[in-house]
Each structure stands twice: as C-alpha cells, then as structure tokens.
C-alpha cells in the first residue's frame, strides 16, 4: 500500500499479488480523495470518491469482483439501470441452484442501495454485472476469464477466455436520499463525458480577429442534458420522401451539410417522482438558449434519430392497465413548432434548429 498525499488530491494505492514470491501484482486499486475548496456559491465542487482498478490477466476460471460492505440495512435490494436509462429494483431471490449467478444484474451506468436514511451510489464509465449477496453489500464484476463448457451449459458455448488487462473506474457517492438523487444524474454525466483539455494562447496574447471575441456558452437547466448539438451531414427533404426515393433508385448522392441547420437533442435526466424539484417538466425558450449561435428562424421537431418529421409519424398506443387492448396508431398531440418547448421527465426530444443566414 502507498499513500500519496497532495494539496489537491490524495491517492491510496493498493497492490495485490497472487502469492508472496510473485514479482508482479495482479490487481491494483487506486482510490482518489479530492481536496477542493467550495465554489463561488458555497457548494462543494466534488462529492465523490474515485476508484480506478487494474485486473488481469486472470488465471483460468477466475472472476475479479469488488465487494463493498456497509452498515446500510438494504435487505439485499439494489437498484440498477439495465438499459442505461431507468432504474429497476433488484431484490435478492434464493434459488435451489446457482443463486449467485442468477442474482447478478446489468449495470450500464449507475446503481445504488439504500435504507431508510442513506444511500450508496456507484457510477461506472462502462457496463458491469452487479449483485447484492448480503445485507448492506454490493459487488461489481470487474473482470472474468472462464472456460465452462460443462454439461449444464445447455449446448451454449460459454467460453470467455479473456486474457486482457482492464482498467475500470467507479465513482462512489454516499449521502442522504435527497443529496444523492440530485447528484447521481449529473455525476454520471461528468464521468461519461470527461472534460477535454485543449491548449491555446492565453488571453491577451492571441491575435485580434474581426467580430466578437467571446461567445456565451449554451446553458440549460440542471435537469436537462444536451445530448447532441451538431450540423447533420445529410441534406434531404424534411419529410424524408425524397431521400427514400433516391435510395430505392440507387442514387446515393453526396452528403452536403446545411450550415444553417443544427440538430439538437435534449434529454430530461430525472424520472417521475424521483426528486420534488428536478423531476418537474422543464420549459425552455430555444431562441434564448441558442442566441450565442445566431438568430433562430424556425424550430422543427424530428424523430429521435432526426430522420423523420415528427408531424408525419404515427405511433402505437398501448393501454398499460389491466385488460386486453389491441395497439392502435395515433398521431402525437403536440402543438405546432415554436421556440418554446417543454420536456417531461425522462423524455428525449430532437429538433432541427434553423438559423438566419449570415
């Protein structure tokens, strides 16, 4: 074990060897505690412990698992986002055979366990298997190397002879329900989208350019996430008809970007009832939000991928209550396009933003 203390970060390095005579370690855990001052508004700039692991190459038929034990009375219940979108409750179920493996669930981005007072949140930059094999425990599958072609595999080849070395990163947050609810979504985005460090001239040393020297950033409310803001590389009709006809005729054409049109996708981060404030619908004025990019002349809502005009779509409608009901097609009941939009909990909306030509 090594402890490296610094003014900004303290790193605890733990190395694990297969035996006392091994020259190289097989596993490593690096825990980072950040010492940051409060922001200008008095809020802490860091609310987490970051742990980076190194596992592999593993011996055959081995699994590397990180198990965290707490005094939380979790009743062996965990919550994980099996699709990276919504959280699902995962209670432990006892089986006659293979209970450990059958109580493993996917964690795409985040998971947590809780009791009546506190919650422990785990955030990941990649997908893992997760389980709770005991009260107050949560374990994450970091790496595995298996050769299990036994009779019980039901004819499936379950070989995973992975000899690689992995370096997963987890963030741990511990606190009250209200605090971790507000932090989990934003922290997950911070882990998934690390800052990109760019080097340039210092202010005052760069050559003067004509026009404004500084533009305001595109800012959104804290419960909205800007998934995409880009210029599409295609140029077909808004109703998709012309593009589809050209594809059927074998006319590929060249992709030409329309520099006056921007693809915008917004995602509401919170579920219904997850937070009394952040789970509320959000209304934003896209003209005001995007004013730093230019003058907005039209807002056109599109399908999720941006390829279809939303007014041309017919969606299936399903009754979620008891009773039998056949699906039927309905048109979306949204007002015509305009700069003021409302995004509801867990909703994703995509738009073409048309700017005035300069």
Per-residue model confidence (pLDDT) at position 168: 95
pLDDT at residue 326 tops 50? no
Query: Is the model more confident about 41 or about 338?
Result: 338
Tell me the whole-structure pTM to 2 decimals: 0.80
Share of the chain above pLDDT 70, in %: 78
Give pLDDT, residue 69.
95
Q: Residues near 232 by Cβ (< 8 Å), separated by ≥ 6?
A: 257, 258, 261, 263, 306
Which residues are CB-contacts of 293 (< 8 A; sequence separation ≥ 6)? 215, 218, 262, 355
Q: Does domain 224-312+335-355 have CATH number 2.60.40?
A: yes
Least confident span in 22-26, 74-78, 256-260: 256-260
pLDDT score for 321:
74
355 SS3 class = strand
**pLDDT tens figures, 257-310:** 677 888 999 999 999 999 999 999 999 999 988 888 888 999 999 888 888 888
The verdict on domain 2-192 having CATH code 2.70.98.30 is yes
* Coil/strand/helix, residue 86: coil
The kind and range of the H/E element at 264 are strand 261-268
User: Within 13 Å of residue 119, how many CA atoms lie on the same side as its CB?
Assistant: 17
Residue 298, burial from CB neighbour count under 10 angstroms (0-12, 13-18, 19+): middle
Q: What is the mean pLDDT of the chain?
A: 83
Contacts of 280 (CB under 8 A, 6+ apart): 223, 345
> How far is Cα 98 from Cα 91, in angstroms, rounded to an integer?
16
State how far the Cα of 266 lies from the Cα of 351, in Å rounded to an integer.
Answer: 9
Please tell me the distance from the alpha carbon of residue 181 to that of residue 187, in angstroms, as a whole number: 10
Instruction: Give the pLDDT confidence score for residue 118 in this predicted structure.
Output: 94
Nearest to 158 by CA among 174, 172, 144: 144
Range of lowest pLDDT (87-101, 182-196, 315-329): 315-329
Please give the backbone phi and psi of residue 2, each rounded to the nearest 5 degrees, phi first: -130, 140
Please tell me whether residue 186 adopts helix, strand or coil conformation. Answer: helix
Asked whether the bond before 234 is cis by omega within 30 degrees of 0, the reply is no
Map out the domains of the chain as residue ranges: 2-192, 224-312+335-355
Q: In terms of Cα–Cα distance, which of 166, 186, 222 is closest to 48? A: 186
Sequential DSSP letters for 134-184? STTEEEEEEEEEB----GGGTT----B-----B--EEEEEEEEHHHHHHHH
- pLDDT above 90 covers what percent of the chain? 44
User: Terminus-to-terminus CA distance in the chain, angstroms?
Assistant: 61
Residue of higher predicted confidence among 114 and 230 = 114
Residue located via tokens 């698992």: 65
The torsion region of residue 260 among left (phi > 0), alpha (psi -120 to 50) and beta comes to alpha
């Amino acid at each position: 074990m090594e402890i490296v203390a610094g003014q900004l970060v303290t790193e605890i390095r733990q190395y694990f060897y297969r035996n006392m005579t091994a020259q190289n370690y097989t596993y490593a855990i690096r825990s980072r505690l950040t010492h940051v001052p409060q922001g200008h508004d008095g809020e802490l700039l860091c609310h987490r412990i970051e742990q980076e692991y190194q596992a592999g190459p593993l011996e055959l038929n081995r699994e590397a698992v990180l198990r965290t034990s707490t005094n939380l009375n979790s009743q062996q219940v965990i919550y994980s986002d099996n699709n990276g979108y919504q959280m699902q409750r995962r209670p432990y179920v006892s089986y006659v055979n293979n209970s450990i493996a059958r109580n493993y669930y996917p964690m795409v981005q985040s998971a947590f366990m809780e009791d009546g007072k506190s919650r422990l949140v785990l955030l990941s930059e990649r997908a893992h298997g997760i389980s709770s094999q005991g009260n107050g425990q949560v374990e994450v599958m970091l790496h595995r190397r298996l050769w299990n072609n036994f009779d019980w595999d039901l004819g499936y080849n379950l070989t995973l002879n992975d000899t690689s070395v992995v370096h997963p990163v987890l963030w741990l947050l511990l606190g009250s329900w209200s605090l971790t609810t507000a932090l989990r979504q934003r922290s997950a985005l911070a882990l998934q989208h690390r800052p990109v460090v760019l080097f340039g001239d210092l202010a005052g040393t760069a050559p003067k350019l004509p026009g404004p020297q500084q533009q305001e950033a595109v800012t959104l409310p804290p419960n909205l996430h800007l998934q995409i803001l880009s210029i599409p590389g295609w140029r077909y009709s808004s109703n998709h008809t012309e593009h589809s006809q050209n594809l059927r005729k074998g006319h590929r054409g060249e992709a030409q970007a329309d520099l006056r049109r921007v693809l915008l996708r917004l995602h509401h981060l919170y579920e219904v009832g997850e937070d009394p404030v952040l789970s509320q619908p959000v209304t934003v004025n896209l003209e005001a939000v995007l004013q730093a990019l230019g003058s907005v002349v039209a807002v056109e809502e599109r399908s999720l991928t941006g390829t279809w005009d939303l007014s041309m779509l017919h969606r299936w409608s399903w009754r979620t209550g008891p009773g039998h009901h056949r699906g039927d097609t309905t048109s979306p009941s949204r007002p015509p396009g305009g700069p003021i939009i409302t995004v509801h909990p867990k909703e994703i909306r995509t738009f073409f933003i048309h700017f005035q030509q300069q």
